[in-house]
Structure 1
Amino acid sequence: MKKLVYVEDDKDIGQWVKEHLQGQGFDVTWLTGGEELAEYAEQCDLLILDVMLPGLDGFTLGQRLKKKYPGLPVLMLSARGTIEDKLAGLQFADDYMTKPFHPDELVARIEVLLRRSGKFGQTVLELQHLLVYPEENRIVDTRTGEEVQLTGKQHHIFQYFLQCANRILTKEQIYEAVWREPYLEGDKTLMVHIRYLREKLERDPGQPEIIETVRGVGYRLRTRP
């Protein structure tokens, strides 16, 4: 799982971006300022920096870290969209996105930067008869050699299970992480999506071995015996 450090002082935007990136399978450390950045930067695969921050601004932080870690991909994310700001950011950063933005575009740009840097590795997770490539968002059925095609919501649910592999998750946790709204007791939406997801992933959807039902609690994605 690729490690991202995201520096954003706006708590609403920061939480929204962090949850979306985690839903796409990234390990995200969200900081609201640059004070702790140095201790995380060395271990991360990519840095996302807002420009307007308390204390040192994103340009200054980015320039310092690029000098210390020249191979670290840096993506600037800012409401400052003038050509002068973009040119200033691209003097050291690898990409520059302006707010507002679509989260799927952000994910696509992150993946491009990781591939360019050689950090987008071929991590493969074996789940029964499935080969899962988390960084590529691909699942291959080894029985047929074909890629398993998931819908958008199925993909988000599966990514959340991967992120929390081997942990028991309540229906409320899963629903609120994927749909980003409160779960209403008795709502069958999640159950229906998991049933269809099992039909695509399990050898026998009636006796699931990958996405287990934990009676009275919720579900668990099992990656080990």
Structure 2
Amino acid sequence: MTTILMIEDEPALVRILRSYLEQAAFQVETAGRGDTGLDMWRAIQPDLVLLDLNLPGMDGLDVAREIRKQANTPIIMVTARVEEIDRLIGLELGADDYITKPYSPREVVARVKAVLRRASSIQKRANFLQTGDLSIDLDAHLVSRNGEIIDLTPTEFNLLVTLAGYPGRVFSRLQLLEATQGTAYEGYERTVDAHIKNLRAKLEINPKEPQYVETVFGVGYRFSRSG
């Protein structure tokens, strides 16, 4: 059974979301503090983390940062923080999605399923992409440059596969959202910029002069044919 770890300090929300997630056939574990949530993540290695940002014990952003140091577990941040900068910081830390309160529990379940589908589809694709010194093994979910492994989150990996699968083709931000999230959420186009920034920081020798992922100003991004 797929396990969801919910790190949330509002008991009413925990009860509601647990009920909806269990009805969707997920196993749900919960923690009410950031520090205990991080300990629980280490102990049970869940398939996905639903992470609040305003937590006692340890801030949610710090929890996400620690998880990303050790693994690529999909993370959905759930928070009352509505400022765009908070969302972008969360995405830059490697979150796969971001939901603001108040929200529909059904939407949360839908987002959980979408993120898990993306992670699963990455594992199931049977293919291998090679461009210049960059190798992308879709079966093993591995990216390497000159034999050195590059550690990507599921969203970053799916974004790279989408772009590298069609070198030279320009993708708009909405198209990339559709490809990587399954649904193009209006108003979230800038989340792609955050993921691209993360991807370049890991992929490019010099992120300020990208060799692989190029910006097409006013349109979106493309993967360089020359790589």
TM-score, normalised with respect to structure 1? 0.50
Change (3 A) 1:25 1:120: farther
- Structure 1 SS opposite 2:50: strand
Unaligned runs of 5+ in 2: 125-227
Q: 1:95 aligns with which of 94, 97, 102?
A: 97
Q: Deviations over 1:108-163 (max 9, x none)?
A: 111111111128999xxxxxxxxxxxxxxxxxxxxxxxxxxxxxxxxxxxxxxxxx
In the alignment, which residue of structure 2 is the partner of 1:40? 40
2:5 pairs with 1:5:
yes
Change (3 A) 1:27 1:104: same
Aligned residues of 1:45 and 1:119 also touching (Cα < 8 A): no
In the alignment, which residue of structure 2 is the partner of 1:117? 119
Q: CA deviation at 1:57?
A: 0.6
Q: CA deviation at 1:76?
A: 0.1
Identity of aligned residues (%): 34
Alignment of 1:167-186 (within 5 A): none
In the alignment, which residue of structure 2 is the partner of 1:17? 17
Distance 1:121 1:17 in 2: 27
Aligned residues of 1:51 and 1:58 also touching (Cα < 8 A): yes
Change (3 A) 1:27 1:119: farther
In the alignment, which residue of structure 2 is the partner of 1:177? none
- Structure 2 SS opposite 1:104: helix
Aligned residues of 1:111 and 1:120 also touching (Cα < 8 A): no
In the alignment, which residue of structure 1 is the partner of 2:225? none
Alignment of 1:1-225 (within 5 A): 1-42=1-42, 43-69=45-71, 71-91=72-92, 92-118=94-120
Aligned residues of 1:8 and 1:49 also touching (Cα < 8 A): yes
Change (3 A) 1:109 1:120: farther
| Amino acid in structure 1 at the alignment position of 2:83 | T
Q: Which is higher, the Rg of structure 1 or of structure 2?
A: 1
- Structure 2 SS opposite 1:5: strand
Write 1 or 2 for the structure with the bigger share of helix: 2
Aligned residues of 2:38 and 2:63 also touching (Cα < 8 A): no
RMSD over equivalenced CA pairs, Å: 2.0
Distance 1:23 1:84 in 2: 34
Distance 2:23 2:123 in 1: 19
Aligned residues of 1:114 and 1:120 also touching (Cα < 8 A): no
Unaligned runs of 5+ in 1: 123-225
Q: CA deviation at 1:39?
A: 4.0
Distance 1:120 1:6 in 2: 24
TM-score, normalised with respect to structure 2? 0.50
Distance 1:49 1:110 in 2: 12
